[in-house]
Homo-oligomer: A and B are copies of this chain.
Amino acid sequence: MDAPVSRTRIRRLPELAVTDPAVLREVLDAGVAGHVAFVHDGQPYAVPVAYGRSGDAVLFHGSTGSRLFRTLALGVPCCFTVTHLDGLVLARSAFETSMHYRSAMVLGRCAVVPDKLPALRAISERIVPGRWDVVRPPSTKELAATLVLSLPLDEWSVKVSAGPPDSSPEDSGWDPPTGVVPFELVRGALTESS
């Protein structure tokens, strides 16, 4: 949980960088899925994954048959990114049109978590609080088919864009409506299965 180092120093729009670890945790805790980047046979991949957080580590779980999880379990360099799209920023110019977002990026190498049940519970509680206590727990066979990985929050960056639209003197004479169109990921009601 150190301060960001060189590889995670934000170069573009550095004024949007946030170095407070509390904000990192908030951004992570606001999501249920992110994207893991890893390299396989020289090809980078970005793969969506659900996740949890336990203290200063992100937790993933997946099948022992998954290429992603088998590769990550080797401890190769990876990157985990969570991005929340919070809105569109409508400026007077095309150039300044942008988005509101919160994005957290964690670099590192995953470690295999031998004690799977508490980690799976943490992931479940992050995504559907309270659910773990009412579902059938994993069987020995299901646990054996599951890889649980942790990625420490050692090297990371957070970028938050939340300001009003920018304008410039060149925009004179252009007066479209400007402002922010908020985005929200809304959870609907449970549609029960028969």
Residues of A whose CB lies within 8 Å of any CB of B are 7, 11-12, 32-33, 35-39, 41-48, 50, 63, 65-67, 77-81, 83, 85, 87-88, 90-95, 97, 99, 101, 103, 105, 107, 120, 124, 127-128, 131-132, 134-139, 142, 146, 164-165, 170-171, 174, 176-193
Assess whether B33 is in contact with A99, with CB atoms less than 8 Å apart. Answer: yes
Which of B11, B39, B77, B136 is A93 in contact with, Cβ under 8 Å?
A: B136
User: Would you give the shortest CB distance from A62 to chain B, in whole angstroms?
Assistant: 8
Knowing A42-B77, A128-B90, A174-B135, say if A164 contacts B184 (CB, 8 Å). no
Assess whether B179 is in contact with A192, with CB atoms less than 8 Å apart. Answer: yes
Assess whether B191 is in contact with A180, with CB atoms less than 8 Å apart. Answer: yes
| Bound CA–CA A99/B190 (angstroms) | 13
| Bound CA–CA A120/B175 (angstroms) | 20
Assess whether B134 is in contact with A176, with CB atoms less than 8 Å apart. Answer: yes
Give 14 new A-B contacts, CB below 8 A, not counting A50-B99, A97-B128. A7-B41, A33-B85, A37-B46, A44-B79, A45-B105, A46-B105, A48-B101, A88-B187, A93-B136, A94-B132, A136-B174, A178-B193, A179-B193, A185-B185
| Bound CA–CA A37/B80 (angstroms) | 10
Q: Which residues of B have CB within 8 Å of A88?
A: 32, 127-128, 187
Task: Write 19 A-B pairs (CB below 8 A) sorted by A numbering.
Answer: A12-B65, A12-B67, A35-B37, A35-B81, A37-B44, A37-B45, A43-B79, A44-B77, A46-B80, A88-B127, A88-B128, A88-B187, A90-B131, A93-B136, A94-B120, A135-B176, A136-B171, A179-B192, A184-B186
